[in-house]
Amino acid sequence: MFLLGVPTSFAQAVHKLALWTLLAIIFSSIVRFMLLLDINKRVYNHAPGPCRAFREIVNGSAGLEQIDEENLVFITTGLAKYRGIENTKSGLFIYSFPEPSDQAVQHIAREVKIENFSLSHFAPFGVTHFSSKGRLHLYIINRFPTPNCVESFTYNKEKNTATYRKSICDPRFSSLQDIVAVGPDRFFVTNTQFSGRLWAQTVEAAFQASSGSLYLWDGKSVIPSINWMPTPGGLALDKKRSLLFVGSILSETIRVYQLTPSLALKQQTEISLLSSPMGIYVEETSGDIWTALLPIVHTTFYHLTDPAESRIRAPSQVLRVRLQEDGISWIVTEPYANDGATLSASASVLFAKDQLLIGSLFGRLLHCDVINPMIT
């Protein structure tokens, strides 16, 4: 009887162990998912100085691209169209930063006339540029089609027009977010998740699946640069230091890669932010990193499901990261935070001439004066 009882008790022990292991995994997944939703977080409003919203931009400003030599900022608007809000007006605007001493300036963005392209099928997100032979080429992510595409335009400053050149599409472009040019007709793009449908993306997010990718367009074909990334989003290039910054929305980090002349990537460090980065901007002189973030994920999810509902707001946040000389340590400050009443779901950011531009997914574009830029 004793010998016969050993296997039985052993089987029972294995069964209990398997059961408790399964329960631990389920409980751990629930806790991780609750932490992912940021239910425990609160946002306290503050700004680096006086702020004002652009009256002419009300349908989002998810993409911002600065051209220093021209003192121009390109602004994409109308992202909500990819969520089925058909009456959303999509397009492209430009803005020029005034000198800080000009107190009487009016902050006005001008609409760019887009030629030879239908705006009814345009839901722009990230934007980048490359200047070559006196021509300014724009590359704009279009979330409207399935798969997504990168639309290429040539900008004429005198006429303030953007003339359509071509579309770059790929079946793997399911959820493009940001883009950065690295050469003539060459760019990196982030594909946040494997699926392009919101319900499937929700499942991927719930399981925190590393199903995103970073792709390189080399002028001829799409090449996977990094696969199985955790929700890659914002992109920025530090040309002076040959560094590529890739934000991870659900991991709440920014990965820093060394960019080689062959456009290969070598990870240098990973910056923990404890908030979900969307847009990234790098100051050329100092190398400081500015990032627009979504500090509370669950309110952002509600906002994504119904962008037209004005009562659903998602908080906004801007962080400034100063990398230290060793390249692997950093200091983080928070110049801006808002509970969503002034700016809902921050998605892009720029800093120039002691002024801050903060864009949103589906709403306003905010301009703020930075009173103390050295300590902000």
Helical residues (DSSP H) of the chain, grouped into ranges: 2-36, 198-206, 297-305
Identify whether the C-beta of residue 151 lies closer than 8 Å to the C-beta of residue 139. yes
The answer for residues whose C-beta is within 8 angstroms of residue 259's C-beta and 6 or more apart is 182, 237, 242, 243, 244, 265
How far apart, in whole angstroms, are the C-alpha atoms of residue 346 and residue 326? 30
Identify whether the C-beta of residue 319 lies closer than 8 Å to the C-beta of residue 293. yes
* SS3 at position 44: coil
How far apart, in whole angstroms, are the C-alpha atoms of residue 277 and residue 234? 7
- HSE at residue 274, side-chain half, CA atoms within 13 A, is 7
The tokens for 353 are 């001439």
* SS3 at position 291: strand
Residue from 360, 320, 327 nearest 341 by CA: 360
H or E segment to which residue 272 belongs: strand 265-272
How far apart, in whole angstroms, are the C-alpha atoms of residue 282 and residue 244? 10
Q: Which amino acid is at 107?
A: H
- Is the bond preceding 147 in cis, omega lying within 30 degrees of 0? yes
The tokens for 336 are 């801006």
How far apart, in whole angstroms, are the C-alpha atoms of residue 259 and residue 215? 14
- Across 106-135, b (16+ Cβ under 10 Å) vs e yields ebebeebebeebeeeebbbbbbbbbeeeee
The verdict on whether residue 178 carries a ligand-binding annotation is: yes
DSSP 239: T
Q: Annotated binding site: which residue ranges?
A: 178
Q: Annotated binding site for Ca(2+): which residue ranges?
A: 178
